[in-house]
Structure formats: C-alpha cells, structure tokens
C-alpha cells in the first residue's frame, strides 16, 4: 500500500500514528494511505519555515518572480502526469482535471508580475520638505486549508500569491486527494524555491486546530463548507490571525423569457453536472421566469440529460466521472430522497447508476427536480452533486429575490438578450459574483474571487490584488531630510550602491 507523506523542509516526512484512506473513485477501492498529522508534525514544518522565511522575504521580487516563471513551465511540462494523479484520487475526468490545473496556473501567471503588484504609493512634498511613501511587506508564515474538489487550483490560488509576496506557506490539503498538492510542492522546489517556504502537512481536525492555534501563523485562507468556514474564521480571528474563509454555495441560473434556450441547456448541462456537481461555482438551481419558459426549458433539458455520458475518470468521451467517495455518494442520494419526501417532482433519478466493469465505483447519474419550492431543505442546502433543481419564478422581481434572499451568495447567472434586464439584475442581486450569459462566473486571475453571506467570511477575497493585500501588510513612512547647512555638512552626497 502506497503511503502519502508530509512534505517538510524540502523532503518527504512520514506521519506516524493515524492514517486515512485515499480511494480510487472509479474502482471504489483504497489505493493509498495518508498520514493524519499532529501538532508535532506542524511544529517540524514551522521550524523549517522560521529558518527559511527571512531570507526569502529579503530576496528581491524579481528573483521571487523567476521562481514562479520556472514553476509555471514545470507544471505545463508535467500536465499529463498531474492530471492523471488528480483524476485517480478525485474522480473528475481528465479534461476537468486539466482545467483544474490550468485555472490554478493562471494565478501563478499573475504572481509572476509580483514586482509590479508590490509597488507602494508615494507623495512627494506632502509637507515642507516631507515625503510620504508606503511599502508592502510579507506577513511571515501563513497557511492554507484546501478542499477535495479542486486539489490543484485552490492551493495554487493561495500559495502562488502568498509565496511571491515573500511569505512561507504551509498547505493543509484535503486528506481525500492529497497527492497533487505534494507533487506541486516538489515542482516548486525544482523551480528554485528554497526548502521550508512551501510545505504540505496532512491531517484532519487535529491538524486544522494546530494551525489555527499556532502563534506564528499570521494568516489563514480556507475553502470548504460554510459551517467549517465559520468555525475557522471565528477561532482564527480570536487567535489574532487574518482569516479569509470561503464556504458553500447554491448558485442560481436565471432564465429570462427572451433567453436562447439552446445555449442555456448546453451551459446548464455543463455547469450543473460537470465534475459530478462537486464545484462551489456549479449551477445547481435554474430559475425560469414564466411558465412557458419553464416548460420549454424542461422539454429541452430532458434529451440533453439523457445524452450525458458517465464514465471512469480516464474515459475521454465521459462528461463526468464518479464522486469522491462512498460517503459523499450516500449524502447526495439522501438529498435526492429528501427532495422526493418534500414534494418536489423527481423528473430524472440518478440513484442506482452502475457502470459496467466498475460496479464498485462511486458513480451517480444526473438528477433533475422540478417544482422545487424555496422553503424546501433541499433548496436551502448545498447538495454538491449532479443534481439540478428547477425553481419556477413568476416574474423578474421574484427571480432577483430568490438568490438575494438565499443563505449563500457565491455566484449567480442570468441568461437574457435584454441588456437593461441584465444590467438591473447585476446591480441589484445580493450575490458576490455575477455571470451574464456566463454559467460559471469565476473571475480571471487578475480580478478577484469571493462570495457573500455564508459563502464567505472575512473582508478580503482571493487572488488578484485582493490576494496581494491579504498576504501582505502595509508600512507607511513619513520622512524629512534636513539640508545639513546648519552643521556645514554636504547636503548633496549622492548615495551609491555597495
């Protein structure tokens, strides 16, 4: 049985004691064991980080950027290997795995421009002979706690900017699919990153609490469920840390009567069922406006859903693969039964799906509900699976109100040909990220990612300039240089570089 170790101080370090199981979701079999670390394991990583971070912070931004350039090239060279590892532990198909890696690389590309992003502000002559300027400095040692659904993208979203800013970074990835984060750390070392600057520690709540309580960890970024996000934000900030904690989602797709339904159906099948729905920016709720829109949309959705191909992660023709493990499949099936019990119409039932030759795999077919009501628990909560719910709206105002009043506020999309309706919706809806005829409105890397309400805890979002602000502290200097005439000193000595 393969063991997955910590990556501490530039080397593999065994985590003795407790272990977790890492499955191959397509086969339904255990393929590896991952060590579940303790505070003592974190202590080893902290010792290495403390030894390495000051010199890395003192390294000029251009040299730090060169490491990012090298890392980007290495990830691209090893894309096939990384995608296979990712798919084998997560279950998403190879195309989705490559997309996972590529979206992470886009933040690495942004991080290559860190010399420009770190420039401060300057005011000459703020007072008589007085200049004021600011500089951005790294926080020191920081950490990221990442989920199973994007084991490449989200770690790179975090550590790319943090490390480029001069911090040492400790990554605690999901114990469900931990191999890709370790491989990324190895590639960072190969790219020229000093040992101790990027380290990977595995574990469960014990490791998370150790990170939250360590006095020398100055900031924490988290992505996961909302309940855990709130816990991490509360405990981390209580310990004096800067925390950004992103939680669950229930993204809505508003379909106006003038929308191109063929385009909507194509977008919905990918956004709702792609990656088996295990995406915080999935589109699991569609809100057609008006009965005719709803009926026409449903009629077009049925053949599109029937045409979806579910297969093993390496099947190039599969639209999506298995979910991550048996427990998560059971959770999704429980929600489907809950929807039936609540009175929603189960139009397509994905339970009981079995793939020939892979009967033990964690597969679940696409599921469609209609006539879902806002009071239903299945609407209020995140299912995180290949389940699409139709919630019918009478008019535009109701379509704005539904996502605005929901407990989650991660993303929303509107499909329309009407520019005024789209503009009005984008301005009024109480959600952090909006797509206009874009089903998964994840911003590009040089903008910023973050949801509202129970989808995000903290004041600063991920990546882009918001990420630079999160991983740095601003120092402002007010200076005056007397001319030296009173003492006869030469006021015009030109400093030279030593």
Catalytic residue among 112, 122, 165, 280: 280
**pLDDT score of 16:** 75
- Identify whether residues 152 and 54 lie together within a single domain: yes
**pLDDT score of 214:** 98
- Identify whether residues 427 and 462 lie together within a single domain: no
Report the predicted TM-score, pTM, of the whole model to 2 decimal places: 0.94
Residue 35 bridge partners (DSSP): 19
- Identify whether residues 327 and 220 lie together within a single domain: no
What integer best gives the mean pLDDT of the chain?
Answer: 95
* Cβ atoms 267, 279 nearer than 8 A: no
Is residue 494 one of the residues assigned to a domain?
A: no
**SS3 state at 323:** coil
Is residue 316 one of the residues assigned to a domain?
A: yes
Tell me whether strands 345-348 and 285-288 are parallel, antiparallel or unpaired. unpaired
Is residue 182 one of the residues assigned to a domain?
A: yes
Where in 209-362 does DSSP place strands (E)?
217-223, 242-246, 252-255, 285-288, 345-348
- Identify whether residues 174 and 281 lie together within a single domain: no
- Identify whether residues 26 and 137 lie together within a single domain: yes
Structural domains counted in the chain: 2
Is residue 379 one of the residues assigned to a domain?
A: yes
**Is 280 one of the annotated active-site residues of the chain?**
yes
Scored b (16 or more CB within 10 A) or e, 226-260 reads: bebbebbbebbbeeebbbbbbbbbbbbbbbbbebe
**pLDDT score of 489:** 53
Domain around 376: 252-436
**CATH number of the domain residue 98 falls in:** 3.40.605.10
Is residue 448 one of the residues assigned to a domain?
A: no
- Identify whether residues 292 and 423 lie together within a single domain: yes
What does the block give as tokens for 333? 């099936």
Alpha-carbon torsion, ordered 82, 204, 211, 448, to 10 deg: 50
- Identify whether residues 115 and 182 lie together within a single domain: yes
Is residue 156 one of the residues assigned to a domain?
A: yes
- Identify whether residues 269 and 387 lie together within a single domain: yes
How far is Cα 153 from Cα 184, in angstroms, rounded to an integer? 11
- Identify whether residues 390 and 266 lie together within a single domain: yes
**pLDDT score of 15:** 81
- Identify whether residues 431 and 469 lie together within a single domain: no
The CA-atom distances, in angstroms, between 56 and each of 6, 79, 328, 439 are 22, 27, 41, 40
Q: pLDDT of 84-127, one tens digit each? A: 999 999 999 999 999 999 999 999 999 999 999 999 999 999 98
* Cβ atoms 2, 32 nearer than 8 A: yes
DSSP state of 486: G
The CA-atom distances, in angstroms, between 172 and each of 156, 311, 320, 321, 451 are 13, 30, 27, 25, 22
Q: Smallest Cα–Cα separation from 56: which of 495, 494, 471? A: 471
Reading the chain (498 residues) residue by residue, the pLDDT tens digits are: 899 999 999 999 998 789 999 999 999 999 999 999 999 999 999 999 999 999 999 999 999 999 999 999 999 999 999 999 999 999 999 999 999 999 999 999 999 999 999 999 999 999 899 999 999 999 999 999 999 999 999 999 999 999 999 999 999 999 999 999 999 999 999 999 999 999 999 999 999 999 999 999 999 999 999 999 999 999 999 999 999 999 999 999 999 999 999 999 999 999 999 999 999 999 999 999 999 999 999 999 999 999 999 999 999 999 999 999 999 999 999 999 999 999 999 999 999 999 999 999 999 999 999 999 999 999 999 999 999 999 999 999 999 999 999 999 999 999 999 999 999 999 999 999 999 999 999 999 889 999 999 999 999 999 999 999 999 999 999 999 988 655 545 545 554 444
How far is Cα 319 from Cα 307, in angstroms, rounded to an integer? 10
**pLDDT score of 376:** 98
Is residue 441 one of the residues assigned to a domain?
A: no
- Identify whether residues 97 and 217 lie together within a single domain: yes
- Identify whether residues 149 and 282 lie together within a single domain: no
CB atoms within 10 A of CB 51: 14
Is residue 186 one of the residues assigned to a domain?
A: yes
**CATH number of the domain residue 382 falls in:** 3.40.309.10
Last residue of a domain, one of 436, 463, 493: 436
**pLDDT score of 498:** 43
How far is Cα 134 from Cα 131, in angstroms, rounded to an integer? 10
């Amino acid at each position: 049985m393969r063991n997955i170790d910590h990556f501490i101080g530039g080397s593999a370090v065994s985590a003795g004691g407790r272990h977790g199981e890492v499955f191959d979701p397509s086969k339904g079999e255990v393929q590896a064991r991952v060590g579940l670390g303790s505070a003592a394991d974190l202590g080893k990583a902290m010792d290495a980080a403390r030894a390495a971070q000051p010199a890395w912070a003192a390294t000029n931004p251009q040299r730090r950027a060169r490491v990012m350039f090298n890392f980007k090239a290495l990830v691209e060279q090893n894309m096939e290997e990384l995608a296979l590892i990712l798919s084998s532990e997560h279950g998403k198909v190879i195309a989705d795995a490559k997309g996972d890696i590529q979206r992470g690389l886009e933040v690495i590309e942004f991080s290559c421009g860190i010399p420009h992003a770190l420039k401060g502000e300057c005011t000459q002559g703020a007072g008589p002979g007085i200049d004021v300027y600011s500089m951005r400095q790294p926080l020191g040692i920081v950490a990221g706690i990442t989920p199973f659904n994007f084991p490449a993208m989200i770690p790179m979203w975090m550590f790319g900017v943090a490390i480029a800013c001069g911090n040492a970074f400790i990554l605690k990835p999901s114990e469900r699919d931990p191999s890709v984060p370790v491989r990324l750390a190895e590639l960072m070392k190969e790219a020229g990153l000093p040992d101790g600057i990027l380290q990977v520690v595995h574990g469960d709540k014990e490791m998370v609490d150790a990170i939250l309580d360590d006095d020398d960890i100055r900031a924490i970024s988290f992505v996961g469920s909302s309940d855990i996000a709130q816990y991490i934000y509360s405990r981390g900030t209580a310990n004096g840390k800067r925390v950004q904690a992103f939680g669950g989602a229930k993204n809505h797709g508003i379909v106006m009567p003038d929308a191109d339904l063929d385009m909507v159906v194509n977008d919905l099948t990918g956004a709702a069922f792609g990656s088996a729905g295990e995406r915080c920016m999935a589109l699991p709720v569609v809100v057609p406006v008006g009965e005719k829109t709803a009926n026409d949309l449903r009629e077009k959705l049925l053949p599109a859903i029937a045409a979806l191909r579910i297969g093993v992660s390496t099947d190039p023709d599969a639209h999506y693969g298995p979910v991550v493990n048996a427990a998560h499949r059971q959770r999704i099936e429980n929600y489907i039964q809950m929807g039936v019990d609540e009175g929603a119409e189960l139009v397509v039932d994905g339970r009981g799906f079995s793939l020939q030759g892979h009967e033990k795999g964690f597969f679940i077919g696409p599921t469609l509900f209609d006539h879902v009501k806002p009071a239903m628990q299945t609407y209020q909560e995140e299912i995180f699976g290949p389940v699409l719910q139709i919630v019918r709206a009478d008019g535009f105002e109701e379509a704005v109100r539904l996502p605005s009043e929901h407990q989650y506020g991660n993303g929303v999309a509107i499909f329309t040909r009407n520019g005024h309706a789209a503009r009005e919706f984008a301005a009024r809806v109480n959600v952090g990220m909006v797509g206009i005829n874009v089903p998964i409105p994840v911003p590009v890397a040089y903008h910023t990612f973050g949801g509202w309400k129970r989808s995000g805890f903290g004041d600063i979002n991920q990546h882009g300039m918001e990420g630079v602000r999160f991983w740095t502290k601003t120092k402002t200097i007010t200076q005056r240089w007397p001319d030296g005439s009173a003492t006869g000193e030469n006021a015009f000595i030109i400093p030279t570089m030593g």
